[in-house]
Each structure stands twice: as C-alpha cells, then as structure tokens.
A and B are shown apart, each in its own frame.
Chain A
C-alpha cells in the first residue's frame, strides 16, 4: 500500500527526465537547422554585407538567455520543492491514517471485552454454522461464489521427511551396520551373567510364539513322514 501512490510519481519523474532529454535533442536539431539555413542564406547572397548586430543587442540577448536559464532553474527547483512538499504531506497523512486506525483498533478491541458474552454467543453460533456446513478448516468465503483456502499440499515436505528418515534408518540399521537381534543380546546376557541361564526363547514361554508354532508344525510333519517311511 505504501509504495503504490509513490511509484507513479517516480515513474513520472523518470518520464519527465526522458522527455527533457528529448526536448534538448530537438533544440539542438533546430539550432543545426538554423545554422544550415544561415549557410544557405550565405550561399545565396554572398555579396550582402553581414547583418550588423550591435553590442547592446547582443548583450540584451545574452542577458535574456541568462535570465531564461535562471528562470528555468528556479522553476525546476520550485517544482522539486513542491513535489517534496506533496510527498511530505502524503506521508503525514498516511501517518495520521495509521494512528487513526490504531485508535479504531483499540476501540474495537475494547468493545468485545465489555460484551464478551454476546461475542461468545456469536462464536457459538458461528461454530454451529461451521458444524452444519462442515467446511474444511482454513477455508474462507468471499462475496459471491469464490472461496479462498490455504494450500495444504504437504506432499513435498512429507516426501522430504520420509527421505530424511530413510537416511537415518539406512545409516543406523542399513546394510553394513552389523546389527543383531534383541533375542541374541538378551541370550548373551543370560549366558554371561553370574547366574547363567538358557537363551531367552527357552526361558520366556511367550517369546517368538509364531516361530515356535511353526517349528511344532514342522516337527509333526517330520514325525508323520518318518512313520510313513518306516511303515
């Protein structure tokens, strides 16, 4: 908001500058033209005596041109001054606006604290409405049939997170990390303890139930096979 009214003036300024340059070029061209004309005139009438220019005349002209130059300089200065003044005014106004808005905000803030109950009731109503419509969170209705919603596309970050987790996993538990199993560790502890005992899978009955069931099944099958072979 700040830069919006400010921008065009700058652009104008630049345009002015360019325009100024343009005019000077034109002037030069005119001068040249004049000179050419003068040459032509010389060519056409070379026996005519050169026009007499009195000292006063030339002085007057020089003074005039000087005046003109001064004038333009002054005008430019004034213009610049005015521009600055305007900008200053604009800033001040903006400041005022800001102050005013803060006051307003405070007022607005102070109002609901007095009538909190009402606000709460309203909130409740709003909540009810929300519940009724069951809108996804972060969606806001605008006038007309437009809605604004935050982009909840977390696909990229999820992918990155997954990659990072995979990195740790591969570093700590991947190939070449020389890991054993908890079973082995606990069994080693049992073996090297002062009071030695068997590996964990034999000590704890509920350990590795699936493997034990499978072993049991295989054993039965093996016995069955043996019986068939002998009979």
Chain B
C-alpha cells in the first residue's frame, strides 16, 4: 500500500448551516433543503441520497419555507419575498415582494395553481402560479397577529392558518375566516406567554392537527371547530409537523431533538373506530428539529444540528437491508477544499470568504503512526472576503498556487497570487472575458495556464491565462441536449483531456488540443460523484452515487478490461454498503496501478495489479495481513486497501513531494459551535 508522510489538517473551521425547511417532491423523488444562510440543496432520493445541486445563499436571505409546485421550487423568507429557483442554472430565477412584511410560510394547493403565503401583518396572500412567474391574486381577510403556518385542505376549498393563540380556518373561495380554534397556553409560568402554533396540518377528513410552543400536538375537528384530543409531547416546543401521503401517520419534531409519531389506528384490534394514537419516538438529533418530511417509507428530519437524517420506518421497509439503514448526511457531497499540489497551499471555501493556508513542514522521518514535530507551523496567508451579498458557489486554486478564482451567482473573480517566503501579494485580474458568467464549477489545468468554468446549458468555457491578461478561448459544448449543470470538471495531467460530468448522469470527454468533444462515456443510471483521468494510461475512472466504479479507456473508447472484470465479479458488499459518496479520485505518480479514493469516513487505495476481493473474503484485512508471513500475505491480499485512521474527511490530496494532505473536520468541533441545546435531566448525573 505504501507509506506516506501525512499532513493532518484540522484547521478548516467548516461550519455547516442549520437546516430550516425541507420540501419533498414525490414524483421526481427530489428533496429540497433550505439552510439558515439562504442556501438551497437538492438531494436525489432515487439515487442514494446524492446531493445533486447546491444553490448558494445570500446575506440577508433567510428562507422560512420551501414549496414544490410540480417541478418548480419556490421559497419564502423573512425578507418578505417569494423566490423561484432556476434549477438548471443554480440561481434564483426571480423574487417577488409580497408586501406583507416577513413571510413565515408558503404552501401550494394540491392542483398546483395557487400559492398561499402567510405574512407577518396577518394576511394570507394568494398568488396565482403562471407558466413563467407568479402573480398576486388576492388577500384572504386580514387577521390580527402573524400567520405562522398554513395548510390547505386537499380539496383546496379551505385553508387552516396557525397564528398566535389560535388557528383560523379560511374559506379559500370567499376569503372569509369561517372558524376560530383557540389554542390553550402552557401551564404555570408560561401561562402569560402567547402560544405560537408553529405548524398545522389539514387532513382530507377535515381533521386539523396542530403543533404549538406549549409542547402540545392537538387534534381538532375542522367542521365543527372543536378540540378532539390533546397530546402533550414535550416541555419545549413542537416546531414542525409532517403528514404521510396516505394520511395515516403524522410526525412531530420538537426542540428536544425528538420526533414523535402518531398513527391513525383503532385502539383495540378489530374495532372500527380509529383514533390518533402516539406510537413511536425517534431521537436522532441533539438539537431542535426544524424541518420534517414524511415519505412513504421514511422520516426525513433536519434541524439546528445541521445534519440531514433519513430514518426508514421499519414496518415499511425490509429489515436488515441497505434500505433500512439510518442515514446521516453531515457533510456536503462536493469539495470545499482545493489544494495547490506544487506549492503546498490549501484553499478553504466558506460561504462568505476564502482562506488560503500554507502547510506546515517537518524534515524528520518517523515510523508509521508516529507524529512528527513540525519545523514550520501551518499559517493562514490570506483571508479573502467576498464583495457584495452573494455567497460563494465555487472556488479553485491553481496547482502552482499563483491563481485563485471564485464565483458567486452574480460574478466570477480571478486573482493573481505571488507568494514568496515572507512576502504575499494578491492582485485582482480586472478584465475578465464576458463569457465567464453564471458559473457552477471552476477548475485550473495542471499547468495553470487554462481556467475551465462550467456555464449554463452544460457548456464549459475555456480561458487562457498568462502573466498579463486572460483571454477567452473557446466554449466546449456537447450535443446530448442536456441542460443540467455540470458538477464535476476534471482535466488530465498532460493537458489533453477534460472530463465533465453533469447531473443528468452524463460524462463527456473533450479534447483540449482540438477543442472539441472526444467521446461520451456510456450513460450509467447513477450520478457520477467523482471523475478523474489517469495521468499515464489515459483511462477515465468514475465513481458513482451507488458506489460503482468504472474505468473507461479514452484511446479505445470502451470500458477497460479491469472495469469489465470488476463488473463481472461485482464489488464487495461492504464497499457497497458505505453511505457516503466518494468525492475525489487521485493517482499515485510513483505507482500507476494505484487509484486513491476517499469518502467522509475512509481513504482507500485500489491496487489494480492485485485480484479483486470475493464477496466472502474479509474486506478490511490489513491487520490480518500484517500478522501473516510473506508468501501467505501475497495470497491473501486483495485490491482494496482502506484506511480509517482519519474520520470526517473533507479532502485528501497527494502533493507533488508524495506527502498526503488530509483535511478533517471532527463532528464534535461542529457541535461545539452550534446554538444551545435544551437542558435535559438525566438520572444520576
């Protein structure tokens, strides 16, 4: 496997933002997640929960609610605007001011023709969904006090609105309030405090379910406006409710981090009269649960602890399968770190700034596992704050460390760096070509004289860089007709090829000498999560969201023999069961048979010269191999060598001097910076 000197980097203070709202589109199986910094992420649940798209946020944009109308995504927030997103260009398409103060909630009716927005000033505003935009239609009768939550009756004839101390039911035809359901305040000291109805759900049989700040889940009869039952769930707030598609189950998320399930079942077996009964409690979060989605087979939750948790309901899925495993998605499925391999520099991407660090140095050698003393400590060279309100969507550092580039929704910026031992200068390149706009991904060529930028309609803009200026060269296009954004750019070491992958699962390879499409890799059903071209053999290695690995020969334009053998034999079950995608592939120049991959929890070297592991053989066998004598060791060893010494990996890079850079972000460090959790009493502590 080889030994490496490792730079164990733990100074990347990456801090994910809290999940504020979620919306699930059951037709396309896409989950939209809104974060507190205004970013929106799209996860593909049909493809191993892969994070397909990220739309960067903006200062001051705080999203309170998300809503799918067909395949269109809308959000609303405390800035008082309703925004529709352009999911092909990864940017907000337009924003419409609702003129009702901060918006707390939006909800679309089941036909997808109307959007209702609940505002701070007490109005429910109806917007008509037109083909290319939305248009204000009318207000429902104005109430005193803010509208916190909304829910349409499936027929679209009525809307329930959660407010302070009460729930109102509106007739959506006339716009008049027909019922007023008074919600009890909490007992004791909180009696004087208004109760906030954080969430309501209006069911088809006119049952209304509400969750409020007094910790109650209440079930009301919407026809008569009477309370049927109260469940006291928590001492804190019930922040969010979600209903399953068939309306037989409701889940409630609380400040404690628990999720409580209620099911509509008969209390004794065989009887007809059904009741809402509290059934299960899940605790997968340490902090407040602020967003919930109830799919047919799973509970999806997110909250202040920034993790997205998918908890399959064990009565709906087969036991002990991949499907029944709990999933926690804590880290993004893309790289936030770029590494200058030649200069030993690291660039960290934060939402509103970039940090450039120089790695430390040590001139000593030690035995494996030993930590070496550092001569020179790592130091932060530059902290670059973005101009304007838009957050950074991608960034790149050239391998030689003399160029730095980042892009926001609005603009691309390119800087020239000059770093000597004690002198650092940064200079903005003022005149960029016009073609560099609406960029989703940036990448420098290995000789640092080309900048590649993926642009709209899956095209790639090639820009030539030299000492004095930068010049537009060409736009690379393919003919598949896909308009989805490119999420991976990977140039080859020799500067001849550029591989691109988009979220339509297509991989295209361009010839950079001729500036045209060389070939397209046969489409595979799962989205590629990492793509790289081998420096010597010229094979393209791709890893997909379902953990499959392919090797494609660019010369023969077909899958390589190794790849075919891998497909015939199949990957080891333990490899397939991993739940985080491989986010980068690199190669060892000293040993061309080695492919280095990493995901969040492991770092792996695949030795193509060794036999592939059978399904029955032990996958993690390095410890056993070490104890075996040499000839037996050769017989027992297989291609996959995994290393789990480093956890919560954000990036693994091999520098030019063959030392590894491992960027870790321990979860405890993230938890330490989160807002306060609730105080819980544990017995005997």
Determine the distance from Cα of A181 to Cα of B286 in the docked complex, in whole angstroms.
Answer: 11
Picked from A177, A186, A188, the residue with its CB within 8 Å of the CB of B668 is A186
When C-beta atoms are compared, the residue in chain A nearest to B190 turns out to be A176
Determine the distance from Cα of A161 to Cα of B38 in the docked complex, in whole angstroms.
Answer: 14
Query: Does B672 lie within 8 Å of A161, measured CB to CB?
Result: no
Verify if B41 is at the interface (C-beta below 8 Å from A): no
CB neighbors of A among B646-685 (8 A): 668, 671-680, 682, 685
B680: A residues at CB distance < 8 A: 180, 185, 188
Query: Does B676 lie within 8 Å of A161, measured CB to CB?
Result: no
By Cβ-Cβ distance, the 9 closest A-B pairs, closest first, are: A180-B679, A179-B676, A164-B102, A161-B78, A164-B78, A160-B101, A185-B677, A178-B679, A157-B80
B504: A residues at CB distance < 8 A: none
Query: Does B434 lie within 8 Å of A124, measured CB to CB?
Result: yes
Query: Does A177 lie within 8 Å of B196, measured CB to CB?
Result: no
Q: Measuring CB to CB, which residues of chain B are less than 8 angstroms from any residue of chain A? A: 60, 62, 78-80, 101-102, 104, 120, 189-190, 193, 196, 213, 235-237, 255, 286, 288, 434, 668, 671-680, 682, 685
**21 pairs, CB–CB < 8 Å, chain A vs chain B:** A124-B434, A160-B80, A160-B101, A160-B102, A164-B104, A173-B676, A176-B189, A177-B236, A178-B235, A180-B676, A180-B677, A180-B679, A181-B676, A182-B673, A182-B676, A183-B672, A185-B680, A186-B671, A188-B682, A191-B682, A191-B685
Verify if A192 is at the interface (C-beta below 8 Å from B): yes
Query: Does B193 lie within 8 Å of A161, measured CB to CB?
Result: no
B677: A residues at CB distance < 8 A: 179-182, 185
Determine the distance from Cα of A40 to Cα of B436 in the docked complex, in whole angstroms.
Answer: 101
Min C-beta distance of A155 to chain B, whole Å: 13
Known: A164-B104, A171-B213, A173-B676. 14 other contacts (CB 8 A): A160-B120, A163-B102, A165-B78, A176-B190, A176-B193, A182-B673, A182-B677, A184-B679, A185-B680, A186-B668, A188-B680, A188-B682, A192-B682, A200-B668
B196: A residues at CB distance < 8 A: 171
Min C-beta distance of A117 to chain B, whole Å: 12
Given contacts A161-B62, A165-B78, A188-B685, contact A179 B679 (CB under 8 A): yes
Number of residue pairs spanning A and B whose beta carbons lie under 8 angstroms apart: 77
Min C-beta distance of B425 to chain A, whole Å: 24
- Consensus secondary structure, chain B interface: loop
Determine the distance from Cα of A163 to Cα of B79 in the docked complex, in whole angstroms.
Answer: 11
Q: Measuring CB to CB, which residues of chain A are less than 8 angstroms from any residue of chain B? A: 120, 124, 157-158, 160-161, 163-165, 171-173, 176-186, 188, 191-192, 200, 204, 207
Min C-beta distance of A55 to chain B, whole Å: 68
B78: A residues at CB distance < 8 A: 161, 164-165
Determine the distance from Cα of A160 to Cα of B97 in the docked complex, in whole angstroms.
Answer: 14
Determine the distance from Cα of A169 to Cα of B193 in the docked complex, in whole angstroms.
Answer: 15
Picked from A165, A172, A178, A186, the residue with its CB within 8 Å of the CB of B62 is A165
Min C-beta distance of B522 to chain A, whole Å: 37
Min C-beta distance of B320 to chain A, whole Å: 23
B213: A residues at CB distance < 8 A: 171
Min C-beta distance of B57 to chain A, whole Å: 15
A173: B residues at CB distance < 8 A: 675-676
Query: Does A171 lie within 8 Å of B676, measured CB to CB?
Result: no
A177: B residues at CB distance < 8 A: 236, 678
When C-beta atoms are compared, the residue in chain B nearest to A156 turns out to be B101
Looking at B62, B671, B676, B679, which has the most chain A CB atoms within 10 Å of its CB? B676
Determine the distance from Cα of A54 to Cα of B164 in the docked complex, in whole angstroms.
Answer: 89
Determine the distance from Cα of A185 to Cα of B680 in the docked complex, in whole angstroms.
Answer: 8
Min C-beta distance of B328 to chain A, whole Å: 16
When C-beta atoms are compared, the residue in chain A nearest to B194 turns out to be A171
Picked from B79, B101, B678, the residue with its CB within 8 Å of the CB of A178 is B678
Determine the distance from Cα of A182 to Cα of B78 in the docked complex, in whole angstroms.
Answer: 27
Min C-beta distance of B377 to chain A, whole Å: 15
A204: B residues at CB distance < 8 A: 668
Query: Does A171 lie within 8 Å of B682, measured CB to CB?
Result: no
When C-beta atoms are compared, the residue in chain A nearest to B672 turns out to be A182
B193: A residues at CB distance < 8 A: 176
When C-beta atoms are compared, the residue in chain A nearest to B434 turns out to be A124
A181: B residues at CB distance < 8 A: 676-677
Determine the distance from Cα of A191 to Cα of B673 in the docked complex, in whole angstroms.
Answer: 21
